[in-house]
Structure 1
Amino acid sequence: MKNFKEHYPIYLTLLALSAIIYFFQFLLFNDTHDTFFYLLQDMAFLPINALFITLILDQIVSSREKKSRLEKMNMVIGVFFSEVGSELVRYCSKFDTEYEQNKDKLCITDAWTFSDFDAATDAIKKYNFKIDSRLNTFDEFKNFLICKRDFLLNLLGNPILLEHDIFTDLLWSIFHISDELYIRKDFSALSDEDYTHLSKDIDRVYGLLIYQWLSYLKHLKTNYPYLFSLSLKQNPYISTK
């Protein structure tokens, strides 16, 4: 209603301009029959015209908005991997009993095609990582997550990520493992049940993290080759455990 009032003078001007044109048409041609005939004909086409314009404009606007949201979302995900994600992969991989095999599969190179990324992503969906929380200590892992907590909280509150279910699930899983480690003050006194629970938590984070990482690198290869080359140098699977 507010917008209507703001544009009210424009609407009146357009209607007045139309009335003036019809008035001069009557004066010049003195033929009301043809004028009303073509007026009604034009009015009959207006709904069809409006339909086509609405559909086309809606498709164009929706496509642009979707592309814009995707770009912003991938920018945020890129910041996540720069600040947290890549290092988090390294921490999680220290508990991976099949690290060497997975390293060979996920050591992405510039030669990877889109089909390679799709195949790797599909494989990760079905793959069950073999995580053993006894393979490494937790102190450094815990301190890292605590230091990054404020950054992760800011990400979780970003409205751009609300429609990205996988990334939101990843953030929640990271917060969960962070809380699990935080409440445990003495890791030397962990029970078998604790180790089993932490293994499941790490597995959840690890799987979602690798899946999101592959999707992000595919996006970079498609749209930003120079950023893709930089990401390859920061590949967490290139460095040793």
Structure 2
Amino acid sequence: MKKKIWGFLIVLVLTLLSVLIYAVQIVVFHSPRDTGFYIFQDIAFLPLQIAIVTVVLGSYLKRREKIERLKKINIVINAFFNEAGTDILKGLIGFSKNYDKTKERLNVQTDWTDKMFSETVRYLINADMKIEYSIDQLDSLTVLMKNKRNFLIRLLENPNLLEHDTFTDMLLSVFHVMEELMARDTFEVDNKADMEHLSNDIQRALKALLIEWVEYMRHLRLEYPYLYSFMVRKNLFSEERNIMIRK
């Protein structure tokens, strides 16, 4: 309410100031006709001024604001992969039957082009990832998810993620796997219906996480080459990974 009152007062003061200036102009120059002409000339130009301010300048400011929000989102994404995402990815990828084939497509190198990233994303979208499991794997994944639960909850509470639908969807799919695992006291491998349900959840989360990881690497390549170099050297899908730089 106070902001509205202040806004009204500012408009009122500026309007009165404008009237005062025009009145002074008439008194000093004794030319009401010229003053009236310039008033109408200013009014005629007003729609163009509004168009420039609201459309052109407004669009520019919105783009700038969106860029700033995306930067904040990318900071969140970076924190996710550093604190939880990579570990969860390691845990989920072990359930993939065709891991060897997938691993070949994810061996990101420093010389990758944008086209190569796009092709990898398309491959992952269309990939038929078969899931296999064991009690030990499910138990280990449950423990891992429990350890990352608080961090994932804090991420989901971040309002900036509303600007990044695919990342939010990925988080929700991972969070759902965590809830499914934690809701079970034991895993009944002989219960095919339940195991198939878990397999579908794991497959969904794994595919979404892999796609986001590739997009994350693409972003690092464009915006943060030094971080990209580091992530390539520690790429969990590379058999030759070595954090040390070799010539």
TM-score by length of 2: 0.87
Number of the residue aligned with 1:221: 221
**Which stretch shows the higher mean deviation, 43-52 or 160-169?**
160-169
Q: Report if the CA contact (8 A) 2:96-2:129 is conserved.
A: yes
User: Is contact 1:161-1:167 (8 Å) kept?
Assistant: yes
Structure 2: tracts of 5 or more residues without a match: 241-247
2:139 matches 1:139: yes
More moved, 221-230 vs 16-25: 16-25
Q: 1:16 to 1:184 in 2, by over 3 A?
A: closer
Kindly indicate whether structure 1 or structure 2 has the higher relative contact order, using CA contacts under 8 Å at least 6 residues apart. 1
Deviation string 1:69-90 (CA, Å, 9 cap, x unpaired) is 1111111111111111111111
Counterpart residue type for residue 173 of structure 1 = S
Task: Tell me the equivalent position of 2:234.
Answer: 234
Aligned pair in 2 of structure 1 residues 179, 21: CA closer, same or farther (>3 Å)?
closer
CA contact (8 A) 2:92 2:206 kept: yes
Count of residues in correspondence between the two structures? 240
Question: Structure 2 counterpart of 1:21, which letter?
Answer: I
Identical positions, percent: 37
Matched residue SS, 2:184 = coil
1:46 maps to 2:67: no
The residue that corresponds to 1:90 in the other structure is: 90
Partner Cα separation in structure 2 for residue 18 and residue 196 of structure 1: 74
1:184: Cα distance to partner? 3.1
C-alpha displacement at 1:217, in angstroms? Answer: 1.3
Secondary structure in 2 matching 1:186: coil
Which string of whole-angstrom CA distances, capped at 9 and with x for unpartnered residues, describes residues 19-51 of structure 1? 343233223332211111121111121122112
Q: Is the Cα contact below 8 Å between 1:86 and 1:234 reproduced in 2?
A: no
SS of the counterpart of 2:238? coil
Residues 77-132 of structure 1: CA deviation (Å, up to 9, x unaligned)? 11111111111111111111111111111010111111111111122112221221
Instruction: Specify every segment of 5 or more residues in structure 1 that has no aligned partner in the other structure, as ranges.
Output: none
Mark the CA change 1:152 to 1:239 in structure 2 (over 3 Å): closer, same or farther: farther
State the superposition RMSD in angstroms.
2.2
Query: CA separation of 1:40/1:87 partners in 2, compared to 1, >3 Å: closer, same or farther?
Result: same
TM-score where L is the length of structure 1: 0.89
Compute the displacement of 1:155 (Å). 1.1
Would the aligned equivalents of 2:135 and 2:189 in 1 still touch at CA under 8 Å? no
CA contact (8 A) 1:89 1:236 kept: no
Q: For residue 150 of structure 2, what is the aligned residue in structure 1? A: 150
Q: Distance in 1 between matches of 2:183 and 2:135?
A: 20
Instruction: Note if contact 1:95-1:135 (Cα within 8 Å) is conserved in structure 2.
Output: no
For residues 1-241 of structure 1, the aligned pairs below 5 Å read 2-7=2-7, 10-134=10-134, 137-187=137-187, 190-238=190-238
Q: Is the 8 A contact 1:90 1:237 kept in 2?
A: no
Once residues 177 and 100 of structure 1 are traced to their aligned partners in structure 2, the CA distance between those partners, rounded to angstroms, is 23
Question: Cα gap change, 1:25/1:132 in structure 2, threshold over 3 Å: closer, same or farther?
Answer: same
Structure 1, 81-90 or 226-235: larger mean CA deviation: 226-235
Shift of 1:175: 2.1
Which is further off, 15-24 or 82-91? 15-24
| Contact residue 106 and residue 237 of structure 1 kept, 8 A | yes
